[in-house]
Structure 1
């Protein structure tokens, strides 16, 4: 499942919002929804989705206008849905800046395939070639499994601590639930985390706190954990 991608579905039809959101959720995506462009804007500011599925014909600001603003702001990937399925409408949508354009009604499986393709293209186009992450002066080399503090001192990590830290630097400034951390970390390591994830994070946090006074990993009550600083991939 692709748990790292967050999708925002924008459509004034509540039944269609529910159908699309449920189908994408069943296939591993995190999904949020908005009923119009104004609510979409609030969702964009609060959640920073990776992809927006946007209906063209909505009350208030229409989808084409909203799409123009998204493109001008270099926003998330965009798939437009419209009952206007002519070649001219599709060309207009793509020229505005949409990554894909799909006529309604559409097969949910086709939409899922388009979502996967758009996210792959975006990730491939923006993927750095390096394996070194920098955050708050710290450096993590995920190939060499080498963590250095801001002074350049090597910090020894267990397999579990390394897998968790790698998960955090690959998903910075996002609250990650225990289930998400388990899914990400278990995929890279055979070490069992189910009953030990809190203690693993406590040990990782202690090793970091010995070298810096700043809080880097925050516990978010009843939600999970978050790496606070921005991360740069070098």
Structure 2
């Protein structure tokens, strides 16, 4: 089955080149130069991944990423000509799943896309054991839907994967290195604080707190621990 990718980049040449290159890897891409049109397209049609440029004149990619996260948890890879750490922090904080600085090798971008989608597939469980429950937190592993206090919340691919990792190891302290090892296929060299940033975002969405944790507790100097009992249904 082909992967459907949406490229939103005001550089028409880049969109065209990537679309042609992707065909050799069973990735069917649609390139759009207008952020507004890209947003409409994403709302109207399902995509497996979004490739989003940061530096665009109409709406910058960071604002567009933030808007996408209000209605979709589609994996997002940010592209930018700038490589500053601050851009990476902001991108991760608003919900991007990965980050690549221009210029880049198209083959590496393909590898990032494939890695993201493999992680999603790995977390899908057979019917009959597809729900994890911890207190008022309910996670459906097949639909990737998450509910807290009877309200659905949108998680990014990385946030969802980290949550499942903790819920599958309740009561066990996981160090940053263990999280990196267990979440195989992730290029952590992109930004080594991405785990902490994603856990911080995840806590906020779960109505959790590092000071008074309900689900994820920080063990200073050691890592993190999921403190609730987890039922598998």
> TM-score, normalised to structure 1's length?
0.52
1:50 to 48, 51, 54: 48
Q: Matches of 2:75 and 2:122 in 1, distance apart?
A: 13
Number of residue-to-residue matches in the alignment? 130
Contact 2:39 2:68 in 1 (8 A): no
Q: Matches of 1:66 and 1:123 in 2, distance apart?
A: 26
Contact 1:10 1:55 in 2 (8 A): yes
Q: Which residue number corresponds to residue 29 of structure 2?
A: 31
1:22 to 20, 23, 34: 20
Cα deviation, residue 48, structure 1: 1.1
Q: Which residue number corresponds to residue 166 of structure 2?
A: none
- RMSD (Å) for aligned C-alpha atoms: 2.0
Contact 2:79 2:102 in 1 (8 A): yes
Cα deviation, residue 91, structure 1: 1.7
Range 86-95 or range 97-106, more displaced: 86-95
Contact 1:94 1:100 in 2 (8 A): yes
Q: Matches of 1:84 and 1:117 in 2, distance apart?
A: 23
Q: Which residue number corresponds to residue 178 of structure 2?
A: none
Contact 2:4 2:48 in 1 (8 A): yes
Contact 1:77 1:122 in 2 (8 A): no
Which structure would you say has the larger RCO, counting Cα contacts within 8 Å and 6 or more residues apart?
Answer: 2
Q: Which residue number corresponds to residue 129 of structure 1?
A: 126
Contact 2:4 2:49 in 1 (8 A): yes
Cα deviation, residue 74, structure 1: 3.1
Q: Which residue number corresponds to residue 139 of structure 1?
A: none
Cα deviation, residue 100, structure 1: 0.2
Contact 2:50 2:75 in 1 (8 A): yes
Q: Which residue number corresponds to residue 7 of structure 2?
A: 9
* Larger-gyration structure (1/2): 1
Contact 2:77 2:96 in 1 (8 A): yes
SS of alignment partner, residue 72 of structure 1:
coil
Residues 134-178 of structure 1: CA distance to partner in whole angstroms, max 9, x if unpaired? xxxxxxxxxxxxxxxxxxxxxxxxxxxxxxxxxxxxxxxxxxxxx
> TM-score, normalised to structure 2's length?
0.52
Unpaired stretches in structure 1, ≥5 consecutive residues:
132-233
Contact 1:82 1:104 in 2 (8 A): yes
